[in-house]
Amino acid sequence: MKPYVLDDQICEECIREPNGGRHAPFFCPHLECLQYYCESCWTSMHGSPSREHHKPLVKEA
């Protein structure tokens, strides 16, 4: 389990894509996800009605 939003995380959704591995400032704590996302992947993965209620955790300064 990933209990904290960590610095310098890589997006776990696009990491295997040729231009993937972007910085991931968002962590979805919902049991369905439990992973880090870049802004682009967060938008695409959480834009559907089934996940729009998920709220990202972000590291506070």
**pLDDT tens digits, 9-56:** 999 999 988 877 899 999 999 999 999 999 999 999 999 999 999 999
Query: What string of DSSP letters covers 1-24?
Result: ---S--TTPBPTTTTTSTT---B-
| CB burial of residue 43 (10 Å; 0-12, 13-18, 19+) | exposed
CATH code, 29: 4.10.640.40
In 3D space, the residue among 36, 33, 1 whose CA is nearest the CA of residue 15 turns out to be 36
Domain range for 25:
1-61
The model carries a pTM of: 0.82
Q: 61 falls in which pLDDT band (50, 70, 90)?
A: low
Count the domains in the chain: 1
Amino acid of residue 53: H
